[in-house]
Structure 1
Amino acid sequence: MKEIHKIFITGIGTEVGKTIVSAIFAQALKADYWKPIQCGDLQNSDTKKVSSMIQNEKSRFHPETYRLHHPLSPHAAARLENITLKKEKIQAPSTSNHLIIEGAGGLLVPLSERYTIADLIQTDYKVILVSRHYLGSINHTLLSLNYLKEINIAKIGLIFNGKAQSSTENIIREHCKFPLIGRLNEEDYLNITIIKNYANIWQKTILKWLENQS
């Protein structure tokens, strides 16, 4: 019986490429996709974006647990809509397939006064951290990785988003020692073909990483 993997895609902040990386992983593994919380842009949600970017006969797209209308952090959007986000209600969908789980913003984005996005990461999940290059990204990346270690998450892989910057990437990898899974280039546009190309390029590395984490 094959091992079923749950892979949580998080990032060092907002707009760093989590949705694109989620699509690539879903295509590479023919995995299911689930976004627990969608804040804003409900007509063009991340679930819809991912489903439009991948093409295979196996992936399924599971409904969000919470769909909030305001493009704010989950706790703020929920407050405006008189909703209390309950962590115990956010349960991964039942599936016999691999599951890609996309977070919202970074690890410490609040769900409530008590919980953050990081509290959604279960001990059996593998975690991919997406790091986009900008001034301050080294600090944000290392803080995120250190926090994952603090909460006893060790099955971690890195994705760099942006043109290669050796001085940035080398210092991050020297400090964290986690494997680099792939690089997302600055693309003028994205479509099914481009996502498939990335999936094909990253697939062997993803599978090897998963094998090493088992």
Structure 2
Amino acid sequence: MLRGLFVTGTDTDAGKTVTSAALLCRYRHAMRLRYWKPVQTGIEQDDDTTDVRRLARCRDHEIVAEGIRLPRPVSPHLAARWAGQTIRIEDLTRLARPHTGDERWIVEGAGGALVPLNDTHRMIDLMRALALPVLVVSRSSLGTINHTLLTLEALRARLLSVAGVVMVGNKNPDNRAAIEQYGQVPVLGEMPFWKPLDATRLAAWAAAELDPHSRLLALLE
């Protein structure tokens, strides 16, 4: 059985990968952490595992490289179909079993919580199979209240534990307050956009502003 966090987003490119790297920067001093991306599409253009390795300055033991890797930057179910494959949740959980130990895992999903994996299962079904608390990454901009509340509602309807929300983009106090009030969830960080985005900036932000009250520590320990 894994212990750690599952990082999902309100949609694709919400900031899941950078948030995953920030979590490694924030908490690797307190415990052994591992990052895992079970499903990656568009691998010929993007490799989130490589990005996390670079942004969090990961050592080899902090990365689990195994997983389903598919061409074409589309939904997992479609990328798999075009590649003549089928994504099976049991195959993904089987990949994780040999690595279970004292480490805590940061597992990054693909797309949002309800993105299809195959004809019958969605990403949220993988979350249920792994049974990890879920950290939601959302945008700070217009539309985020609806997207975030819908994601929270979907997670709770399936009895998944919500760890909190990280918002990405320019700070928006009104949107943050609405998410915390109506979603009944803490916002654990507000991550800006950096140009350029590099490991030094990310580590400094994570140390100073990500989960300042260490609420995630109890879930990770």
1:88 is paired with a residue whose SS is helix
What TM-score, normalized by structure 2, do the two folds share?
0.87
Q: Distance in 2 between matches of 1:59 and 1:195?
A: 21
Aligned partners of 2:43 and 2:131: how far apart in 1?
Answer: 31
Q: Does 1:23 align with 2:21?
A: yes
| TM-score, normalising length: structure 1 | 0.90
Find the aligned partners of 1:6 and 1:98 in 2 and give their Cα distance: 5
Matches within 5 A, 1:152-191: 152-191=159-198
* Map of 1:68 onto structure 2: 70
| Cα displacement string for residues 185-213 of structure 1 (whole angstroms, at most 9, x for unaligned residues) | 12112111112112212466373333278
Answering whether residue 10 of structure 2 is matched by residue 12 of structure 1, we say yes
2:153 to 132, 146, 155: 146
Partners of 1:213 and 1:143 in 2: CA distance: 25
The answer as to whether partners of 2:176 and 2:187 remain within 8 angstroms in 1 is no
Match of 1:105 among 100, 111, 114: 111
Amino acid at match of 1:201: A
Residue in 2 that maps onto 1:121: 127
Distance 2:118 2:214 in 1: 35
Over the matched positions of the two proteins, sequence identity in percent amounts to 32
- Residues 185-204 of structure 1 aligned to structure 2 (within 5 Å): 185-202=192-209
Distance in 2, Cα, partners of 1:212 & 1:144? 20
What SS does structure 2 have at the residue aligned with 1:175?
helix
* In 2, Cα distance between equivalents of 1:140 and 1:189: 27
CA change 1:204–1:73 in 2 (3 A) is closer
CA distance in 1, matches of 2:121, 2:143: 25
Structure-1 residue corresponding to 2:138: 131
The runs of 5 or more residues in structure 2 that have no matched partner are: none
Give the Cα separation in 1 of the matches to 2:3 and 2:209. 17
Give the equivalent residue in structure 2 for 1:35.
37
Shift of 1:166: 1.9
Aligned equivalents of 1:206 and 1:160: distance in 2?
A: 16
Letter in 1 for 2:25: Q
3-state SS in 2 of match to 1:168: helix
- Counterpart of 1:205 in structure 2 is 212
Asked if structure 1 preserves the Cα contact closer than 8 Å seen for 2:71 and 2:79, the reply is yes
Q: Which residue of 1 aligns with 2:79?
A: 77
